[in-house]
Amino acid sequence: MNSAALLEQARARDAADPLRGFRQRFALPVDERGAPLVYLCGHSLGLQPHAARELVIEELDEWAQRAVEGHEHARRPWVPYHENLSQGLARLTGASAAEVVAMNSLTVNLHLMFASFYHPAGRRRRVLIEAGAFSSDRHAVASQIAWHGLDPQDCLIELAPEAGADLVDERAIEACLAAHGSEIALVWWPGVQFRTGQAFDIARIARAAHAHGCLAGFDLAHSVGNTPLTLHDSAADFAVWCSYKYLNGGPGAIGGCFVHERHTGALPRTAHRGALPGARLAGWWGHEADTRFLMEAQFHAAVGADSWQVSNPPILAAAPLVASLGMFADAGMERLREKSLALTGFMEELLGPLEPRVRIITPRDARARGCQLSLRIAGGAAEGRRVFEALRAAGVVCDWRSPDIIRVAPVPLYNRFEDVARFAQHLERLLEEPA
């Protein structure tokens, strides 16, 4: 198809898109000369909702005008501010509002969750993770093992794809659990793999872990706001995520955490630590709210995931997320997923004729991916890097993951079919250029 016809087709699809209006609710990035960029990097940093600016300014004004009294009397009082996020996060993760809480950042939440759920005992001391896990997860998990006085070399099982493959089949996870389950305390797995874009079946992994007496926790950095989630029904024990990617919470935004209800209901409200899954490292914000300010020595846990809060929430880092979750509520995850499948499917279709110069390593089965496609360019890492840099010079923002992957993500809240068409046209042209 020639370029003009392709753009026309893409624009016709945009005109028929029931979610097209949401794009106008975002600040759209521009280059140094003010020309619009084709932004396909929401898997790294989501765009700024206009409402985020308004809500941050509103909180700055509250602070200016009310000072300390904002804790109780701001339009959205600061003491229970995290509650503004619970419903929206619960909807996106398939949990009850009591099972989720916005707090801290992803890796900090990982540590808090491991403090509660990683209790190596006897032969059951190992943690199963993926080989090539996100570096922060790898560092955090290894340090948790060492924190217990154990050796990460012995206690970390890193499951790699089969030789020559990029993806890990859930069957391989099941086989690993069948072989080593009695030694594994905890399975730590991503919902969507950051490098390949592969989406995993969380319920299946949790089921396999539980069948061998292990707990299952998940890193949902690349899942939340991207793929539909049913954390409660999938019986995941716990999960953590960040909010600056698909949730458009802004750089360093407040993260989130899920703890399945079965770990919170039965817990003695004064438990801190021990072999009990669910016992927590505590701070005053995890104390039940009604009596928190009595400042008593004894800790009485709040109900549910809220009890894992340690400190009072960062209001300015949470306000943009209030704005963004409002948009998710308006659009609805079902409609977003429907558009996401169409956008990513369109990209896949346009990249088809570019094979084998470009290879999509993300699963071709749409159920096993979110919106991200990960691409490898024929000719090796240096050629891949050349193409990536030339894309940026042409005004396309995507990103590069070592050693040789270009990641692109058309995000249904703000990307258009036209963005996908423009990206594919640039890529085709750049592949034809001499290296």
Q: Which residues bind ligand PLP (CB under 6 A)?
A: 105-107, 134, 136-137, 190, 194, 219, 221-222, 242, 255
How many CB atoms sit inside 10 A of residue 124's CB? 16
CB-based burial, 386-404: b 16+ in 10 Å, e otherwise: ebbebbeebbbbbbbeeeb
Residue 424, token pair as written in the block: 């594919």
Nearest approach in angstroms of CB 139 to ligand PLP is 10
Nearest approach in angstroms of CB 113 to ligand PLP is 12
Nearest residue (CB) to ligand PLP, 90 versus 103: 103
Nearest approach in angstroms of CB 247 to ligand PLP is 12
Select the residue whose beta carbon is closest to ligand PLP and give its number: 107
Nearest approach in angstroms of CB 136 to ligand PLP is 4
End-to-end CA distance of the chain: 25
Nearest approach in angstroms of CB 98 to ligand PLP is 24
Burial class (CB in 10 A: 0-12, 13-18, 19+), 359: middle
Nearest residue (CB) to ligand PLP, 190 versus 277: 190
- Cis previous bond, 190, omega within 30: no
Nearest residue (CB) to ligand PLP, 220 versus 421: 220
Residue 432, token pair as written in the block: 């034809």
Nearest residue (CB) to ligand PLP, 107 versus 415: 107
Nearest residue (CB) to ligand PLP, 173 versus 424: 173
Q: Taking Cα atoms as reference points, which of 315, 401, 363 lies closest to residue 197? A: 363
Nearest residue (CB) to ligand PLP, 221 versus 305: 221
Give the Cα separation of 429 and 1 in Å (integer). Answer: 14
Q: Within its chain, how far is the Cα of 95 from the centroid?
A: 15
φ/ψ (deg, to 5) at 279 = -65, 145
Nearest approach in angstroms of CB 372 to ligand PLP is 11
